[in-house]
């Protein structure tokens, strides 16, 4: 009986861990504030700015996720365009609800992720390469080229992949400086300098 209870508990935990977008019982979900559903409801025009915009001077993400494109609700997909001026990075972050499929359209890009055994997997992508970033794992992208910008398109297996930026989470949310200093085996002055955006002098 004890084994049977343990087996049922294990099955319940595994079932809970399979978090994903819920399956829907209709073809699509219409928000309550939408009166008419036609082709425009299924059209996202937010990427048009890419055609006319000047290249950015800092890393920039343009998203088509549930927040920007309500037609994605229940569809388990979203999309982002990542613009990397020369020498810029998309800092370490996670997407806890989706894997990411990154397609490099222009330039070169260093990409990498760390698995749950703390093993780092990296690759320098060339134009036309695709790289998969597994769901929930810490990852980053970096345009190491000092001259040429890079452009990538990311597809996600969720309408709301959820992004947790590690630098922002650690240094802008009010976590006590002492906790961070002890965690990073450094001093409070270094943590304060990091929070202020300064590089501590060695």
Residues 190, 193, 195, 198, Cα dihedral to 10°: -130
Q: What is the largest CA-CA distance in the chain?
A: 68
Is there a contact between 176 and 82 (Cβ–Cβ < 8 Å)?
A: no
Q: What angle do CA 6, 17, 132 make, to 5 degrees?
A: 140
In this structure, the strands spanning 60-64 and 78-84 are antiparallel
128: left (phi over 0), alpha (psi -120 to 50) or beta: left
Beta-bridged to residue 164, according to DSSP, are 94
Binding-site residues from annotation for Mn(2+)? 93, 95, 100, 139
| 3 state SS for 20-41 | CCCCCCCCCCCCCCCCCCCHHH
DSSP one-letter code for 116: T
Binding-site residues from annotation for oxalate? 90, 95, 100
Locate tokens 């002055």: which residue? 189
Is there a contact between 69 and 34 (Cβ–Cβ < 8 Å)?
A: no
How far apart, in whole angstroms, are the C-alpha atoms of residue 96 and residue 137?
Answer: 8
């Amino acid at each position: 009986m004890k084994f049977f209870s343990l087996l049922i508990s294990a099955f319940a935990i595994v079932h809970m861990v399979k978090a994903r977008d819920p399956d829907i019982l209709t073809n699509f979900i219409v928000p309550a504030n939408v009166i008419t559903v036609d082709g425009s409801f299924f059209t996202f025009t937010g990427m048009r700015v890419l055609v006319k915009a000047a290249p950015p001077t800092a890393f920039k993400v343009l998203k088509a996720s549930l927040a920007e494109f309500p037609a994605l609700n229940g569809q388990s997909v979203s999309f982002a365009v990542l613009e990397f001026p020369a020498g810029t990075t998309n800092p370490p972050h996670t997407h806890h609800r989706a894997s990411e499929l990154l397609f490099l359209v222009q330039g070169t890009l260093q990409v990498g992720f760390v698995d749950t055994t703390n093993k780092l997997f990296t690759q320098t992508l060339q134009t036309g390469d695709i790289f998969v970033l597994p769901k929930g794992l810490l990852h980053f992208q970096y345009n190491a080229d000092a001259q040429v910008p890079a452009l990538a398109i990311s597809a996600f297996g969720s309408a709301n992949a959820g992004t947790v930026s590690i630098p922002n989470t650690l240094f802008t949310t009010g976590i006590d400086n002492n906790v961070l200093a002890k965690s990073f085996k450094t001093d409070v002055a270094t943590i304060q300098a990091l929070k202020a955006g300064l590089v501590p002098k060695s």
